């Protein structure tokens, strides 16, 4: 399918965001990794939406990738909620957001 072709296009470089406080680095890395996954799933979802011949809610592929997209964003929000505001602001100012 075209999802495999899309995977090769989506070669994101893993960004390294250094936390302000070293003890938060692991949580920052987890939040950034889930944000990258969300961005990849969102790009796939948009690609599928643009190439559908039927409505989105009727497509099995779109439903699947939409569920993955929602789960990735929920995980991202979970990790962000455990970080201090200044760490959250640093991630939101990055190119990924």
- What digits encode the pLDDT tens for the residues 35-60? 999 999 999 999 988 888 878 777 88
Matching residue, tokens 């439903």: 63
Q: Are 14 and 35 in contact (CB under 8 A)?
A: no
Separation between Cα atoms, residue 87 and residue 18, nearest integer Å: 9
| pLDDT at position 70 | 97
Q: For the chain, what are the domain ranges? A: 31-52+59-97
Handedness of CA 26, 31, 37, 43 (dihedral sign): negative
pLDDT in tens, 13-27: 456 789 989 999 999
């Amino acid at each position: 399918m075209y999802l495999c072709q899309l995977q090769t296009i989506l070669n994101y470089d893993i960004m390294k965001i250094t936390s302000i406080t070293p003890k938060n680095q692991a949580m920052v890395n987890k939040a950034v990794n889930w944000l990258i996954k969300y961005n990849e799933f969102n790009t796939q979802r948009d690609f599928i939406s643009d190439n559908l011949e039927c409505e989105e809610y009727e497509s099995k592929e779109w439903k699947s990738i939409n569920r993955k997209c929602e789960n990735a964003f929920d995980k991202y929000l979970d990790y962000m909620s455990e970080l201090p505001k200044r760490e959250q602001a640093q991630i939101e100012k990055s190119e990924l957001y």
